[in-house]
Structures are given as C-alpha cells and as structure tokens.
Amino acid sequence: MAVQGPFKVAFGDVFPFGAFVKGGVEAVRDFDRSTRENFVQARDKDTGELVWALEVLDADPESKGTFKVKLSGPVQPLVPEAPAGFPFVPVEFDGLMVTPYVNSGTGRLAYSLKASAVRPANFKGGAGRSGKDNAAGKEAA
C-alpha cells in the first residue's frame, strides 16, 4: 500500500470550523512501562521525546464529544491563553499527522491525531476558517 503509518494533513482539512482546547496539557502514560504505583510517561517512537495530550473540541456543529491530540517535546507544551470571557481556547495545530487504526473495542475505523505544535487560532483568514468555505461549496455542488 502506498500510504503507511501517519500522514500529513492540513489543519483546515481536519478542522474546517476550527478547534478549541478544553482543559490543560496532560502527560501520556506509557502503558507497557507504567504500573499502578509508578507512572512512566510515554515517549515518541521516532524522536524519543516525551508525549503530551490535549483534550480538543471540534467546532463543527455535527461533531460529537472531545478527543485527544498528542504533541511530543522535551518539555510540556504551553497552551495559549483563552480570550476574555471564553471557557475554551481557540487553537490551531502545526505539523498535524493522522494515523488511522481499527479500534479494538468497537472494531471500527478510528484516527489518532498528532501535532508538532499548538498555537493561538488565526481568526483573520486562518487555515481553520478557510475549510468552512470549502465545506459549504461541497454541499452546493
């Protein structure tokens, strides 16, 4: 097969309506090396850097629930500040990668998302907003 492993995607293709961080950054548990008494943080298989996760809300009105986007780095990534009066932080992800897999619990196709960085959303024609126009155009076609 031509596509193996994770593949790069544009932020606006995955989040045409934008994305919001709910909560803070969490260390990801290494399930093979951790025990009940001893938490061991996961490391990226390619870089060896620590793995962190953000709980994310997709701004698409048809999206259900939240999901995790993983980031790797030597230190905990910083989440941008929420705008005044907002409960969630509008963000964009750089270096977004998708890994499809079969969920062992449901037997259904699922996706794991990994990014190289998180930054404040660009509301002035940013990547997350351009996809919304494309989605509307697809419906009209």
Q: What is the pLDDT of residue 4?
A: 74
**How large is the C-alpha radius of gyration of the chain?**
16
Q: Indicate if the pLDDT at residue 36 is higher than 60.
A: yes
- Which pLDDT value is given to residue 2? 66
Taking the C-alpha atoms of residue 123 and residue 129, their distance in angstroms, rounded to an integer, is 7
Nearest-CA neighbor of 56 among 96, 11, 22?
Answer: 22
Residue 94 has pLDDT above 90, yes or no: yes
pLDDT given for residue 62 in this prediction: 94
Report yes or no: 114 and 71 within 8 Å, Cβ to Cβ: yes
Window from 7-11, 14-18, 137-141 with minimum mean pLDDT: 137-141
- Cite the beta strand spans of 28-130 per DSSP E: 50-58, 66-73, 89-94, 97-102, 109-115, 117-120
**Is 0.85 surpassed by the pTM of this model?**
no
Checking if the pLDDT of 68 tops 80, the result is yes
Question: What pLDDT is stored for residue 127 in this prediction?
Answer: 45
